[in-house]
Amino acid sequence: MLLRPPKGEPLGLIHSLGKFSVFLGLCLFLSVMVSLVFQEYGTAVRLGIGAGTAFLLGLLMKKLPPPSDELSLSGAFTLATLVWIHATLITGFTYWETGYFASFLDACFDAMSGYTTTGLTLLQDLDHAPEGLQFLRHGVTFLGGQGIIVLFLIFASHGAAEFYQLYVGEGKDERLWPNVLHTARTIWWISMVYLVLGTGILYPILTNLGLKPTRALLDALYLFEGAWSTGGFAPHVQNLLYYHSTAVEIVTAIIFIIGSLNFAVHHRIIQGNFREMYKNSEVRSFAFTLFFLTLTAAWFCAKAQVYPTFSTSFRKVFYQMASAHTTTGNMTLYARQFIHDWPAPALFCLITTMVIGGSACSTAGGFKGMRLSQAFHTLLYEMRKILLPTHAVSTLKMHHRKPYLFAPEHGYKALFIIFLFTALYAFSTFAGVLAGYPMTDAVFEGVSAASNSGLSCGITSVGMPWYLKFVYIVAMFLGRLEFIAAFVFCGYSFAFLKGR
Amino acid sequence: MFFLLFIFTPLSSQAAEIPYPASLSVLVEESPERDGKTFIIQGEVVGEPLIENNGVWLNILEEGNPMAVFCPADLAGTARQLTGGNHERIGTRIQVKGILRRICMEHGGDLDFHAAKCEIIAASKETSDVPKREDSILIISIIWMILVLKIRDYYNTSRLSQ
């Protein structure tokens, strides 16, 4: 028997969503300030309409009664989903208001792409976009990388224990500290330290390229936000190719590789435990797959004479592979070059890295290195069980923050999520094929959207069918929230309508 | 004066002999077949000219498709003076004769276009970003509604506390 949610809870969820909407309105207002500074008065007004709408809606929703009791687990997961949907719609509306998107759906696509740190974009005329909009888009991806709810918890909650469920609902289930609020603050503290460092390193490189100081500072900030959040947004349509700079490529690659690591690993390193870096199972898994797949792809590219020498091949391939593996999506190639230039085995390696993705509890997407490592350990465990005598006890060790014994339940849980991701990749690919795109292109773009990578082979454009845009929006959303919260939201809605 | 100085060679007479691609996207799309050949391309300069050891990079845009144009030392001085487009202005529109390089070994294997000759076809011009009347009315209405709600909340709270 399906039970209705506790009385008053659904209205309480809308009340909490109202609090978030007010918070979102204040965040959007920052972009209005930027537009005013740059004397983009028309854009400032249009961005202000979005910010004001978020604020006004929030005030109205807050008129509903607050949740009387502690939120139920399903209620918290539903609220996490609602927060994401609301943020996408409001930010999409704000984008649409600026006039740089062909439709509201395109604007929502870009907003979802930003929040999920995917990096696919449908913005028209990026190179002429106002500073306020650029600031907002990169801010959105930076915010999405750390987690919208993580930031909301810092500013809007009072550290209540039930908010841990909300935090988990966003696809981050790691506590750096026993208190979730403390964990959220630590995540933002780590990110802000890197923001200052990363922008500080990129700024002189960009001024050396000839950019004026203000432009260099803004581009440095945007490039950092895009790379660190593994979003892959950049302020120019050519993405990283615009700068023609090896230094920019190296620095951004370092930033997105660091950004794709688990916040728990960062935390351990900041605490002085440097050995965590090479002992951690997830980091090892990432290093192995990146190294192995990059070498394979570079070798195939060199063999097919895509690049005349192996060193050129390695340089070009490494950047795209690292960008794909960390699910960043920064590119130093034109989109169609993937399809026309790269041989099929190299393309296969690139898609595989997108499928795997970065680390759990990081800014990255994909099904995550930790789950791959756990799946591999499950295979080892099952093989040992068969090969060893029946009374033998088989133990496998893993390392994450501290050494622990591998339990097969971890592996089965990981395999379940991997299965769901595989189904999502298949679904988004099928939608691409159905829209009439060649199989290779459809796999590339479908996996890129669902794994929140953002590399594009050219499908993502204003001209693609509306239903494909919608499928990619759903794929980006499910991939980012890792299914559970979205599924609970569906169940909760059904229980609300049909439950007793 | 500068406009005149930048015209290095009249290109119109040669344009008929050289295939002119429909758009920059064609050059990228068919780069394997067109690699190493000479073309004339057009586009708006976007962003700022970027300095390279022995030249200047210009990023040009045509119908939303970008292309990186490398201007060697002899063109660099004047190329650096070009105005790139951004939100405040439409950049200088140029016509470039040069060679397409699918894998440019000089520039780390990037796909680029090495300019041999360059001509300004339209000067940069400013754009305006002023609020529309209906947007202004909408924002004022939203602010007014927010204020009404906040003032009502304030009075309700103070009445309850009394």
Residues of chain B contacting residue A308, judged by C-beta atoms under 8 Å apart: 103, 105
| Residue A305 to residue A312: CA distance in whole angstroms | 11
Q: Decide if pLDDT at A52 tops 90.
A: yes
A210 to chain B nearest CA, in Å?
A: 5
**Domain residue spans of chain A:** 9-174
Residues of chain A contacting residue B107, judged by C-beta atoms under 8 Å apart: 244
What pLDDT was estimated at residue A389? 86
What pLDDT was estimated at residue A163? 60
Averaged pLDDT, A16-23: 91
Tokens of B123: 């000067």
Residue B117 shares a structural domain with residue B153:
no
Query: A128, A137, A441, A462: best mutation site toward chain B, by most B Cβ within 10 Å?
Result: A128
Does A207 contact B at CB distance below 8 Å?
Answer: no
| Residue A88 to residue A460: CA distance in whole angstroms | 18
Structural domain harbouring B104: 2-126
Residue B111 shares a structural domain with residue B48:
yes
**A50-64, A285-299, B29-43, B123-137: range with lowest mean pLDDT:** B29-43
Locate the chain A residue with the closest alpha carbon to B55: A209
Q: What is the CATH number of the domain that holds B65?
A: 2.40.50.140
Residues of chain A contacting residue B145, judged by C-beta atoms under 8 Å apart: 56
Cβ pair A306:B103 closer than 8 A: yes
Residue B116 shares a structural domain with residue B146:
no
Residue B77 shares a structural domain with residue B48:
yes
Residue B80 shares a structural domain with residue B158:
no
Q: How far is CA A359 from the centre of its chain?
A: 11
> A198-218 pLDDT, tens per residue?
999 999 999 999 999 999 999
Does A212 contact B at CB distance below 8 Å?
Answer: yes
Residue B28 shares a structural domain with residue B65:
yes
Locate the chain A residue with the closest alpha carbon to B133: A42
Q: Decide if pLDDT at A179 tops 50.
A: yes
Does A305 contact B at CB distance below 8 Å?
Answer: no
Label each residue of chain A as H, E or C: CCCCCCCCHHHHHHHHHHHHHHHHHHHHHHHHHHHHHCCCHHHHHHHHHHHHHHHHHHHHHCCCCCCCCCCCHHHHHHHHHHHHHHHHHHHHHHHHHHCCCCCHHHHHHHHHHHHCCCCCCCCCCHHHCCHHHHHHHHHHHHHHHHCHHHHHHHHHCCCCCCHHHHHHHCCCCCCCCCCHHHHHHHHHHHHHHHHHHHHHHHHHHHHHCCCCHHHHHHHHHHHHHHHHCCCCCCCCCCHHHHCCCHHHHHHHHHHHHHHCCCHHHHHHHHCCCCCHHHHCHHHHHHHHHHHHHHHHHHHHHHHCCCCCCHHHHHHHHHHHHHHHHCCCCCCCCCHHHHHHHCCHHHHHHHHHHHHHCCCCCCCCCCCCHHHHHHHHHHHHHHHHHHHCCCCCCCCCEEEECEEEECCHHHHHHHHHHHHHHHHHHHHHHHHHHHCCCCHHHHHHHHHHHHCCCCCCCCCCCCCCCHHHHHHHHHHHHHHHHCCHHHHHHHHHHHHHHHCC
What is the number of structural domains in chain B?
Answer: 2
**Max avg pLDDT among A238-242, A335-339, B10-14:** A238-242
What pLDDT was estimated at residue A39? 93
Residues of chain A contacting residue B130, judged by C-beta atoms under 8 Å apart: 41-42
**A8-17, A95-104, A115-124, A291-300: range with lowest mean pLDDT:** A8-17
Residues of chain B contacting residue A246, judged by C-beta atoms under 8 Å apart: 108
Locate the chain A residue with the closest alpha carbon to B45: A127
What pLDDT was estimated at residue A18? 92
What pLDDT was estimated at residue A360? 78
Q: Decide if pLDDT at A73 tops 90.
A: no
With a pLDDT cut of 70, the percent of chain A lying above it is 95
Residues of chain B contacting residue A42, judged by C-beta atoms under 8 Å apart: 128-132, 135
Q: Give A 68-107 residues with CB within 8 A of chain B.
A: 97
| pLDDT of chain B, 162 residues: tens digit per residue | 444 444 444 444 444 445 565 578 888 888 888 888 888 999 999 999 998 888 999 999 998 889 999 999 888 888 888 999 999 999 999 999 999 998 888 888 889 999 999 999 999 999 999 999 999 999 999 999 999 999 998 888 888 777
The model's pTM: 0.90
CB-nearest to B47 from A60, A127, A308 is A127
Q: Give A 308-367 residues with CB within 8 A of chain B.
A: 308, 312-313, 315-316, 332-334, 336-337, 340-341
Q: Give A 179-198 residues with CB within 8 A of chain B.
A: none
B122 to chain A nearest CA, in Å?
A: 17
Residue B51 shares a structural domain with residue B89:
yes
Residues of chain A contacting residue B31, judged by C-beta atoms under 8 Å apart: 337, 340-341
What pLDDT was estimated at residue B4? 42
Tokens of A208: 């050396």
Residue B95 shares a structural domain with residue B152:
no
Does A43 contact B at CB distance below 8 Å?
Answer: yes
- Complex ipTM value: 0.85
Cβ pair A49:B135 closer than 8 A: yes
What pLDDT was estimated at residue A368? 85
Cβ pair B87:A129 closer than 8 A: yes
**A156-170, A265-279, A356-370: range with lowest mean pLDDT:** A156-170
